[in-house]
Amino acid sequence: NPASVKRQLAQLFDVSLKKTVPDEEDVVPLVDACTAKTGGVKFGDYQCNNAMGIWSKVKGKETGFRGPPSIGQAIINNLPPSEMIDSCSLAGPGFVNVVLSKNWIAQGVQRMLIDGIDMWAPRLPIGRAMVDFSSPNIAKEMHVGHLRSTIIGETLVRMLEFTRVKHITRRNHLGDWGTQFGMLITYLFEKSPNQEDISEAAIGDLQAFYKASKLRFDDDPEFKLRAQQAVVLLQSGDTRYLKAWKQICDVSRAEFDKVYQRLGVQLEEMGESFYNPYIPGVIEKLDKLGLIEESDGARVIYVEGVNIPLIAVKRDGGYNYFTTDLASLWYRLNEEKLEWIVYVTDIGQQQHFDMLFKAFRRAGWLPRNENAYPKVTHIGFGLVLGDDGKRFRSRSSEVVRLVDLLDEAKRRCKIALLERETTNDWSEEEIEKTSEAIGYGAVKYADLKINRLTNYTFNFDQMLSDKGNTAVYLLYAHARICSIIRKSGKDIEEVKKNGFIVLDHEDERLLGLHLLQFPEVFEEACSNLLPSVLCDYLYTLAEIFSKKFYSNCQVVGSPEESSRLLLCEATAIVMRKCFYLLGIEPVYKL
């Protein structure tokens, strides 16, 4: 990523290191931004930490160096001249601190304003990627875990899109196949014997329908038998059973779509059932490669480092979740020619995917090197907890309807909005749109901002607060910036053409530098597939803007007005890019 400050600095240090220790191979420049964690930003913006490592390599050799500080000094002396750097200094046992030139920072931000933020996007060297996410199960609950998967998955897709991977699929691996359908169909036929008019009404509330049929299944052996026969009939393609299956799926789908519509997510569905015809062929290929073994009547695959086997075909000849994933991964690699496949599920499925991927490496269908393409990655996330620290459930029922949850977020935002004086003259539509943007944005952000591996506690009051690290706070901050620009009465496109950025005040410089660091932060978020990194960046940006820059630097009416308006505009642009990546709709006035 040529736009990253860190990489550009690393290139300069690389030149210097080659000159400083020409005889040492594999010396990689260690350059990082100074943060509170690395000892503060007091001494510089970036730091190069190579001197100590080099000293341990050259100690005792005839180099003339007397210790890490003398190496650090040599690294400084050997740096090629560059417009980037204002000054370097030596600190502690040989750290090289770099102060960037404020003109160079200003020019970088200015260039982004002219060329657009896409110039700050890194490029991934692949053409086709897929994110398998959301993937709820028909007739079962679409629970908050699926909501997390949907929110995280959509953000990962948007991040990959920004890196200009040409073709990215949002894949819904719907759980639309399996033994539960025997039970459901049998129950459906029982409830509406006149099978011509099986309608949504007969199924009604699908979760209740599922529960009732499960009760029948568990209580009545005769029903159970019919249900098992129904599975066979369905899998053999009996039209009556297929029709009923499809009807049940459609009822579920309609419910899922309500959630997707609110979240602004459009997935491409290819459910488990799709892969059914491919299963025998894939099992046969694995068998030919010698991977399939018999165990207790089941056909299994053993993989490295796991003592339980992967069950490819059950004892009764039936297929399971694993079987479908064997077939679907095969299909994705061979028919869809994907170079990177990312699976987003709760962390509980880690072993499932670990075994699946290992089986494919054993078969030689995936490279041994996990970083080589074609590549597969499982992205796990923690549980969603309620205030009581237990799995999130609503008070009245065991499950929370996701649609209700999103509607509740919106409802609360609407109340808060109507209480504001500034909204008195808003149209009904404006109120609706804005409360949706804030409400749904808040739910998404609360989920994305925490490291995805940690469990998170679902709490409306916290996520809808206008203080602290919330979408509400961020959306307000963005709206305020837009209103500063509006109130200046200037045409910002004109200012972009004629004005230029000057970073003389330390808070202007701080803001400019943070803006310029967007490319490297994005790169970090992207290479670890960690949206939370992006959230931290966005929150800090809003804080620097409001608490430093805007508190201490007058914008409208000041002699620096045009430069400062450009900084406002650049901040708004970077914030909007982050919002977009996080699936949040920006708000322009509040």
Shortest Cβ 372–ligand ARG spacing (Å): 21
Question: Measured between alpha carbons, how far is 89 from 80 in angstroms, rounded to an integer?
Answer: 15
Work out the number of other CB atoms within 10 angstroms of the CB of residue 335. Answer: 9
Interaction residues for ligand ARG, span 146-175 (CB under 6 A): 173, 175
Shortest Cβ 162–ligand ARG spacing (Å): 24
137 binds ligand ARG (CB under 6 A): yes
Specify the residue for token string 């002219």.
114
- Which C-beta is closer to ligand ARG: that of 172 or that of 532? 172
Q: How far is CA 77 from CA 30, 58, 69, 74, 92, in A?
A: 17, 19, 12, 5, 17
Shortest Cβ 136–ligand ARG spacing (Å): 6
Query: Which residues are CB-contacts of 102 (< 8 A; sequence separation ≥ 6)?
Result: 86, 503, 504, 509, 512
The site for ligand ARG, by CB under 6 A, has a size of: 10
Shortest Cβ 140–ligand ARG spacing (Å): 8
Q: How far is CA 456 from CA 148, 446, 488, 511, 533, in A?
A: 10, 9, 42, 31, 16
- Which C-beta is closer to ligand ARG: that of 282 or that of 566? 282
Q: What is the DSSP string of 373-435?
A: SSEEEEEEE--EE-TTSSB---SSSSS--HHHHHHHHHHHHHHHHHHSGGGTT--HHHHHHHH
135 binds ligand ARG (CB under 6 A): yes
Question: Measured between alpha carbons, how far is 247 from 233 in angstroms, rounded to an integer?
Answer: 16
325 binds ligand ARG (CB under 6 A): yes
Helices 531-543 and 428-449, interaxial angle, to 10°? 120
Shortest Cβ 169–ligand ARG spacing (Å): 13
545 binds ligand ARG (CB under 6 A): no
Q: Where are the alpha helices (DSSP H) in 450-470?
A: 460-463
Shortest Cβ 19–ligand ARG spacing (Å): 51
- Residue nearest ligand ARG, CB atom distance: 135
Single residue of 181, 343, 365, 579 touching ligand ARG by CB under 6 A: 343
476 binds ligand ARG (CB under 6 A): no
The answer for 69, left when phi > 0, alpha when psi is -120 to 50, beta otherwise, is alpha
Shortest Cβ 381–ligand ARG spacing (Å): 12
- Which C-beta is closer to ligand ARG: that of 357 or that of 476? 357
Q: Point out which span in 88-96, 134-142, 403-411, 447-455 binds ligand ARG (CB under 6 A).
A: 134-142
110 binds ligand ARG (CB under 6 A): no
Interaction residues for ligand ARG, span 225-244 (CB under 6 A): none
Contact assessment for residue 36 and residue 62, using Cβ atoms and an 8 Å cutoff: no
Interface residue list for ligand ARG (CB under 6 A): 132, 135-137, 173, 175, 325, 328, 343, 345
